[in-house]
Amino acid sequence: MRMVGNAVLAASWLAFASVAAAADNAYPTVDILSTGKTVVGEDIAYPTTGAAHVTASIVTIAPGAETVMHRHGAPLFAYLLEGVLTVDYGAKGKRVYQPGESFMEAMAVSHRGMNLGTVPVRILAVYLGADGARNVVLDGR
């Protein structure tokens, strides 16, 4: 009886392993970011103002243009789709992002994004916010 139980257990494990392997082949994944910190080392903190609310946007910065100084009231996952983005974090320095790079943007540290290149910068911006939280907070406001 024990041998039958072991055989059933082994068969079950093999079936599970083959299903898992098929799933890996059917839709493989590659992590592009896994972190608990922003790009300037802040702990990621989710807003608690209301129910969870996710906003996904494509942000475009024209060649030679820049954003105003701002912060974020919600965690912002950014993925650079096109162009080269330079971000000035003031005393925390500047960083340059290339297409295909991703990062969790600074929240409490004011910053501005600049397109110093000749092609538009396009960023997939995913705000992990809450009802009532401001995704972008302009400095002085």
Beta bridge partners of 94: 88
108 and 76 belong to one structural domain? yes
| Residues 18, 52: Cα–Cα separation, whole Å | 37
Does residue 42 lie in a domain region? no
Does residue 26 lie in a domain region? yes
69 and 19 belong to one structural domain? no
What's 57's domain CATH number? 2.60.120.10
70 and 22 belong to one structural domain? no
Range of the domain at 23: 1-30
131 and 97 belong to one structural domain? yes
Tokens of 120: 């538009």
User: How many separate domains does the chain show?
Assistant: 2
Report percent pLDDT > 70 for the chain: 83
| Residues 50, 133: Cα–Cα separation, whole Å | 8
Contacts of 119 (CB under 8 A, 6+ apart): 63, 82, 83
57 and 99 belong to one structural domain? yes
67 and 127 belong to one structural domain? yes
Q: How large is the C-alpha radius of gyration of the chain?
A: 22
Read off the pLDDT of residues 104-128 as tens digits, 9 standing for 90 and up. Answer: 999 999 999 999 999 999 999 999 9
Read off the pLDDT of residues 26-42 as tens digits, 9 standing for 90 and up. Answer: 888 899 999 999 999 99
Q: What angle do CA 137, 41, 86 make, to 5 degrees?
A: 65
65 and 133 belong to one structural domain? yes
The pTM of this model reads: 0.80
| Residues 120, 122: Cα–Cα separation, whole Å | 6
59 and 111 belong to one structural domain? yes
Q: Indicate if the alpha-carbon torsion angle 100, 62, 139, 49 is positive or negative.
A: negative
